Structure 1
Amino acid sequence: MIAPLSYRFRALRTRNFRLFAAGQIVSVAGTWMMVVAQDWLVLGLTGDSAVALGTVTALQFTPMLFTLYGGRLADSRDKRTLLTVANLVSAVLALVLSLMVFADAVALWHIHLFALGVGLVNAVEVPARLAFISELVAPSVVPNASAMSAAYFNVARVLGPALAGLLLTAFGIGWVMLVNALSYLATVAGLRLMRPAELLRAPREEGRARVVDGLRYTLDRPDLAVPMALVAVIGLVGLNFQLTLPLLAKTVFHTGASSFGLLTTVFAAGSLLGALATSGRSGRPSARLVTGAGIGFGLLEAAVGWAPAPSAAVVLLFLTGLATIYFAQAANHRIQLGSDPRYRGRVLALYTLVMQGSTPLGALCVGWLSERWGARAGFVVGGVLSLTAGLVALVVDREGRRPAGRAAEHTPAREDVRP
């Protein structure tokens, strides 16, 4: 049964979440504009080097290895304050890089430093943002709020690259980066306009919150560890679109900046549909649903690599975008809704680490692979390995047929067994 429209958007009834979503949609749109501009700048500085683009991507995601400490901060500090500071620092970094572009003084090593700086900020911001959602809405609305977060994120991914393509053509890279710097202020404004008394503060663990306790808690829960492992593999080999998409556009289909923006927009439009498809969820997804979504993603990504023309790539990228978010949301909901609130920041930090922290190695490997065998190889190999990981998880996941470690310590949300 299809959920009523008002039910799919029920998280937006909460004022604090509306403020959060409004600020995020502006900020994330600016971030995706920055991604397009940065990729185009790197390719222009290096003569379309896949290795150079992979190196920048790797540098941006390497600091995500410190995400576990960001999760510890999220469990022991005020998340609203953490997010405010993180967004202000990101704004300053983007402003400095944009001024260097305007001055025609930017070099590749400047972009390397910027990527590292953004990565360090994200190591704190991402787990705090994911855990903060559960403080914005009632527990029964958390799945919908998470789906809405993915939806506005992908609305921004649709708007951002499309606007970036237009601004790049009309004004140049510097203006795109300046708009991104200003966009962070929307998130800061939304955070500061919230009513703190209406936040549902998560209980904090007695004593000092330790990273190792979060790791031990996750490993003792096979129903959390198996989807976490699947996310790690797919994040490593499959989710390198920041690298593979511009290479596909420029080196395979030989398109310009606006057409690259179109491919990215189509991918994001599919992601948006995937987010909306999960917005009616009210319970915890089953293990079978998570692994099935991973298998579907692998098949579609591999198919993109064989696309004979831009028109076929557009259709396949739309479907791949849908599968990407559907899998990510299913895994996120299974992990988040099955974890004790006292450990949620650290568990979601581990989720962020395995989802994004594997990107540096993945970006370098895919960059090397694409340099030797072409951009199509990055899609095909990533898709095949993701498919294989999903099949392995399907075989080894026995969580539904036997007790799961310490699962009795925390009663998760109702399982969602819909196909």
Structure 2
Amino acid sequence: MRVVLSAYGSRGSVEPMAGLAVRLRELGAQVRVCAPPDEEFAQRLAGVGVEAVPVGDPVRPLVTTVTPGSAAGLAKRVADLMAAQFDTLAAAAEGCDALVATGPLPAVAAARSVAERLGARYVHASHQPVSLPSPHQAPPARRGRPLPAEESDNRALWDLDARIADEMFGEELDSRRAAAGLPPVTGVRDYAFTGSPWMAADPFLAPWRPTDLAVVQTGAWILPDDRPLPAGLTAFLDAGTPPVYVGFGSTPVQDPAGVARAAVEAARARGLRVVLARGWAGLDAVDDREDCFVVGEVNQQALFRRSAAVVHHGSAGTTTTAALAGVPQVVVAQGADQPYWAGRVAALGIGAAHDGPVPTAGSLSAALATAQAPGTRERASVVAGTVRTDGAAVAARLLLDAVGRG
């Protein structure tokens, strides 16, 4: 059985697909992952023996140069993204039995079109509940198209979101579909998501409340990481008390130097050492004192288990990894689904949600005080035992069973 996994996005989109690919391969499937051509993604996939096919433009330059919320240049990016799906993804998926896709709406709408043309089973995967239509929450705003502040009915807002999606992406999608011999689509968003999307998020950390959608919640797709920590980092960890980890993953921040300084000063005010993760934010040391260590790509699963607290941006992957490690968290959300995860961390009592995207030494110190409180640490330890680690295995079996029935 041949399966193609399509993930266009940052590390948070690619890493779970790698986890699913490993589990599918263990069940005897032939798997390849179509992902952006960023070098770090290719290295990660190669490191776990997963065949990777580069699709589209590198993501890091887009993420780090586009103004948050801006629609400038959006039409060209959408056209390029869809073209990559209809061309490169279609070629990679030729002869496959199933195609699982995650990423921005233009990418997954095009990916489903590819699956439709090839006659392959299609699954849309989301790693958080925020983007899935639900009367229990408002939709996230699309670039350049803010939602009306005076409207409070969530169903009405989701209906408006569907119309906005058609206006933004419908013409380009139908043009590509016509060239592929496919009919026009009615309702781009719902076509891409299907009536039964999969949610690859932990049911305790991110519970899905029932709606008209037949959502299949598998649990998070975690890729076990057995890479050793770098020797220098291990020596730093062994030389003193557990440090605070500070990193923003694939999310840029305003004033990286200021954020790094605020983090270091806040940790020092609490008597804590610091590990700064460069990430796409480009965090770096603020001085040459020995209580701070800077890392690049690293095994977060191993590092978090040796940390006093984790300060991060609030992606689904980092939040889940920290929760699984049983370490208190401070979430400094920058956008997208990150405020949701910040709220969940606070609601579960396993950490603090920082107020706003730009921390100061004082605001971070206060948040760390919450994270370091005995009750928070105890709660984080308890919650760690509830986080499922079999989500990717569950999804792999579901997919192969579905294809077999089909």
TM-score (normalised: structure 2): 0.28
Higher relative contact order (CA 8 A, sep 6+): 1
Higher helix fraction (1 or 2)? 1
Higher strand fraction (1 or 2)? 2
TM-score (normalised: structure 1): 0.27
